[in-house]
Amino acid sequence: MVCGDMAEERIYREVQDYYSKELKKTEDLKTNACLTVTKPLPAFVRDALQCVHEEVSAKYYGCGLVVPECLEDCWILDLGSGSGRDCYMLSQLVGENGHITGVDMTEGQVEVAKKHINYHMNKFGYKKPNVNFIHGYMEKLDEAGLKVESYDLVISNCVINLSPDKRAVLHEAYQMLKTGGEMYFSDVYASCDLPEDIRKHRVLWGECLAGALWWKDLYKIAKEVGFQTPRLVTASRITLANKELESVVGNCQFVSATFRLFKIPKDSTAQQCKVIYKGGITGHEKELEFDVNYKFKQGEVVDVDEETANILQNSRFSTKFLIHPIEKTQPTLEGCHLGKQEQKLGDPFRFVEQMETKVTTKTPSGCCGSKGCC
């Protein structure tokens, strides 16, 4: 057990029971929280998923798509890897020289994942496995035998909400990342700080709802543990689709959202830059949708703020961009969001509302139009 606190111990035990005894397959879920799909899957991801063993796919309980760009040769850690669906999908995308480690605290899930290692390695034509699965707690990754600063990416799909100690999870993820690394994860977020009666609901917790972070707390915790400002990639509304549980949550709303958090050298400084995406990232050859605020078309000049410039310069994306600092005297695109943090979209609920009403922050002309920076 990772923590002495009785309430936390109960949560770990109940979640383990939920994912070993109560749920046997995806159809056993009682709400649609773990089933949200935001966009059609890109063909290369669909192909990779089709190669995953059916027993592994049948026990998939994720709420988003954790496929960051630029994966070749990357070392990836999956927190709460479950039966291993995302690990086996990513095993193909990183290639034989990359590696995926899955960590999960539910023994039954880890067993299913391990059982199919040879099947997948044969299918992918790999000489030696590029995946391994560890039974352990994501709040104590050192106890699980993992080495600090050894991963390019940490991913997680619908898991952090289940932890009674989210700060410990983000702190551990930060420790495990190499400098320049990224945490890219999908999870469930609440529109408010959830009241005690919801938090104590066993089924709602198991269904990834009762433990959901108020989205604003993610920004707070991420900053505290050392990450740059979270970047919202996408979000979609969770409707529950269960009348009884809907009446328990009342007016609290939930979204499934994907964020990316970067670990950038502490002493790095950056200034506003003009950047050009060189293209060539698998599956994103012509256009790279970095987050909801920045879309980079191959060959197009885009003005980016200090933090984005810092991330592009100090991460695995550095070789994919031409980056030129903007001289102080040089004019920037007038009226743009450049450097104005408050205008950046970071609230997943606002993003979902914009999608629903088909009103986006982008306009056909003006600063965020065809020549724009947004």
Ligand X SMILES: C[S@@+](CC[C@H](N)C(=O)[O-])C[C@H]1O[C@@H](n2cnc3c(N)ncnc32)[C@H](O)[C@@H]1O
CB 108 within 8 A of CB 133: no
Binding mask 284-303 for ligand X (x = CB under 6 A): --------------------
Stretch touching ligand X by CB under 6 A, among 104-112, 303-311, 327-335, 339-347: 104-112
If binding is defined by CB under 6 A, does position 112 make contact with ligand X? no
Q: For the chain, how many residues are written?
A: 374
If binding is defined by CB under 6 A, does position 60 make contact with ligand X? yes
Nearest to 163 by CA among 109, 124, 221, 213: 213
- Spell out the residues 6+ positions from residue 132 whose beta carbon is closer than 8 angstroms to its own: 99, 100, 101, 102, 117
Contact with ligand X (CB under 6 A): which of 67, 76, 100, 158?
A: 158
In the bound state with ligand X, the residue whose beta carbon lies nearer, of 21 and 340, is 21
- Spell out the residues 6+ positions from residue 310 whose beta carbon is closer than 8 angstroms to its own: 228, 264, 268, 269, 270
Q: Supply the minimum distance, in Å, between the C-beta of residue 93 and ligand X.
A: 16
CB 155 within 8 A of CB 176: no
In the bound state with ligand X, the residue whose beta carbon lies nearer, of 19 and 133, is 19
3-class state of residue 156 by DSSP: strand
In the β-sheet with 301-304, what is the strand arrangement from edge to edge?
301-304, 273-277, 321-325
- Cα angle 245, 246, 250 (rounded to 5 degrees) comes to 120
Count of residues near ligand X by CB under 6 A: 25
- Spell out the residues 6+ positions from residue 340 whose beta carbon is closer than 8 angstroms to its own: none
According to CB under 6 A, which residues from 64 to 93 bind ligand X?
80-82, 85-86
Q: Supply the minimum distance, in Å, between the C-beta of residue 300 and ligand X.
A: 35
Stretch touching ligand X by CB under 6 A, among 38-46, 69-77, 157-165, 351-359: 157-165
In the bound state with ligand X, the residue whose beta carbon lies nearer, of 3 and 323, is 3
In the bound state with ligand X, the residue whose beta carbon lies nearer, of 102 and 180, is 102
Contact with ligand X (CB under 6 A): which of 65, 67, 146, 162?
A: 162
In the bound state with ligand X, the residue whose beta carbon lies nearer, of 104 and 305, is 104
Nearest to 348 by CA among 262, 254, 261, 260: 254
In the bound state with ligand X, the residue whose beta carbon lies nearer, of 109 and 314, is 109
The amino acid that residue 136 corresponds to is G
Count Cα neighbours of 273 within 13 Å in the Cβ-side half-sphere.
19
Q: Supply the minimum distance, in Å, between the C-beta of residue 363 and ligand X.
A: 37
If binding is defined by CB under 6 A, does position 174 make contact with ligand X? no
According to CB under 6 A, which residues from 115 to 154 bind ligand X?
137-139
Sign (positive/negative) of CA torsion 104, 109, 115, 120? negative
Q: Supply the minimum distance, in Å, between the C-beta of residue 128 and ligand X.
A: 24
If binding is defined by CB under 6 A, does position 211 make contact with ligand X? no
Q: Using CB under 6 A, list all residues that contact ligand X.
A: 15, 19, 34, 60-62, 80-82, 85-86, 103-106, 109, 137-139, 157-159, 162-163, 208
